[in-house]
Amino acid sequence: MIIVNRKDKENEREKVVTVALHTLGCKVNACESEKIEASLKEAGFLIVPFSSSADVYIVNTCSVTNIADRKSRQLLHRAKKLNPDALIIAAGCYVNTRGREEVTADPLVDLAFSNEEKTGICAFLKERFSNRLSSEGAADTSLFSLEHTRVFLKVQDGCDMFCSYCVIPYARGRIKSIPEAELIREVTSLASHGYREFILTGIHLSSYGKDLPEGKTDLMTLIRSLSGISGVRRLRLGSLEPGIITEDFARFLSEIPALCPHFHLSLQSGSDSVLKRMNRKYDTKRYAESVKLLRQYFDDPAITTDVIVGFPGESDTEFEETVSFLKRIGFYETHVFQYSRRAGTAADRMPGQLSSGVKAEREKVLLRMTEERRKAYADSRIGKDAEVLFEENNEGYTKEYIRVRCMNPDAVNGSILYGTITGRENNRLMSFEPRQL
Ligand code: SF4
């Protein structure tokens, strides 16, 4: 047995290069951070919590709202306070929207990598710290761990939709889909390492394949291929454009046993005039048809959405239209956002910009509604069968994305159990009784 004393451990730690990484924003950003982290571990860097002292801090930023911009800046500044000698790196959307010069004009930020460049962070750091990196890599070089059961899988980047309020097409560029063969390889590897659920994610998931050679692939083809991979027990879809839900698409999805009946259809507004000003490509009639189709082919699926309140010129009547549309659809969850002006977008130049007071008031109304609906949907499952993928502390998610705790303490994390939802534990947690263990 090798005994390592405390002093040795401290010396050991001094040699390794520590990197702390913080991610803001969307699931695509989270996927990209995971990849950066994996490549850093493989190269021999030690990943440490963002709250500790590190040699390098990377903030994978977001720029979707003014608040996101501010948070990105605050995190970069906090990093410098934690270790004034550290190398501070800003990466991602904030760099794309503000430009490298502006970001690095901040004396506390050393380097900036755009979305296109951030895969190069590891190579850059390897070069920079070559004298301190061991050729054997860090102790923990594994990308995959059996403690993890669910993984976000980035299948595309970019967006061509140009909604009038959104900077993403400028920050992320046009659609770029990851070839199907590459995704099949990635999922096969992840499944063989114990991952069970794959959440297909993209900036505009519904556009998957549109940039690839015609007839080659689309979202349906990709779902079919991935669902056939051994070990893939669940496929969950990220945000979908309502227009993708045709009868053929809904029927196709319902025939894939691994497909989770949880659909996030972006709404943004329940008022047709606001949708038009937002340059969304559907109206409420088309949206309601999509929901009807999903409910026709799935038994009480979980339908979730996003709504923006306080869009320029949103009148009381238009807001009321949104309130009644949300009630009519009966969502499981609604993510509510206050409209945020983004320089360079069409909405920023629109008349009728609303005060923050009005936006906050409208947000409050919708948040109250969504809280009630969320509970009502989860309560409606009490007494019903459920399949649960357990993650940690005997807690896990059903296919509808209801969080449950297993009453039997022997539930195995990483396993899938069948049973019944027996009641409510608290606001966010339901109780679950497995049929057999
Ligand atoms: S669909 Fe609209 S809101 Fe979504 S990323 Fe594209 S432009 Fe932005």
Domain hosting 401: range is: 385-434
Residue 141 φ/ψ, nearest 5 degrees: -105, 5
HSE at residue 223, side-chain half, CA atoms within 13 A, is 25
d(CA 399, CA 302): 9
Q: Give the mean model confidence (pLDDT) for residues 365-370.
A: 96
Residue 214 vs residue 259, higher pLDDT = 259
Which atom in ligand 1 lies closest to the alpha carbon of residue 203?
Answer: 5
Whether ligand 1 lies within 6 angstroms of the CB of 82 is answered as no
Q: How confident is the model at residue 39 (pLDDT cuts 50, 70, 90)?
A: very high
Residue 41 pLDDT greater than 90, yes or no:
yes
Whether ligand 1 lies within 6 angstroms of the CB of 125 is answered as no
Same domain assignment for residues 360 and 396:
no
**Which residue has its alpha carbon closest to ligand 1 atom 2?**
163
**Which residue has its alpha carbon closest to ligand 1 atom 4?**
204
**Which residue has its alpha carbon closest to ligand 1 atom 8?**
166
Same domain assignment for residues 366 and 392:
no
Q: Per-residue pLDDT tens for 176-217?
A: 999 999 999 999 999 998 899 999 999 999 999 999 886 678
Whether ligand 1 lies within 6 angstroms of the CB of 162 is answered as yes
Q: Give the mean model confidence (pLDDT) for residues 226-231.
A: 96
d(CA 314, CA 305): 19
Q: Where does 313-382 show beta strands of DSSP type E?
A: 333-338
State the amino acid at position 316 in one-letter form. Answer: D
* Residue at 424 is within a domain: yes
CB atoms within 10 A of CB 205: 22
Q: Per-residue pLDDT tens for 109-137?
A: 999 999 999 999 999 999 999 888 865 55
* Residue at 143 is within a domain: no
Q: Give the mean model confidence (pLDDT) for residues 17-41.
A: 94
Burial of 351 per CB tally in 10 Å (0-12, 13-18, 19+): exposed
Q: How confident is the model at residue 353 (pLDDT cuts 50, 70, 90)?
A: very high
Rg of the chain over Cα atoms, rounded to whole angstroms, equals 23
Whether ligand 1 lies within 6 angstroms of the CB of 163 is answered as yes
Residue 275 pLDDT greater than 60, yes or no:
yes
Whether ligand 1 lies within 6 angstroms of the CB of 168 is answered as yes
**Which residue has its alpha carbon closest to ligand 1 atom 1?**
161
Q: Which two tokens stand for residue 102?
A: 């502006």
* Residue at 2 is within a domain: no
Same domain assignment for residues 23 and 117:
yes
Same domain assignment for residues 375 and 389:
no
Burial of 20 per CB tally in 10 Å (0-12, 13-18, 19+): buried
* Cα 236 to middle of ligand 1, angstroms: 20
Which atom in ligand 1 lies closest to the alpha carbon of residue 166?
Answer: 8
- Are 232 and 224 a contacting pair, CB within 8 Å? no
Same domain assignment for residues 263 and 364:
yes
Q: pLDDT above 90 covers what percent of the chain?
A: 83
Domain count, the chain: 3
* Cα 204 to middle of ligand 1, angstroms: 7
Which atom in ligand 1 lies closest to the alpha carbon of residue 167?
Answer: 8
* Cα 161 to middle of ligand 1, angstroms: 6
* Residue at 135 is within a domain: no
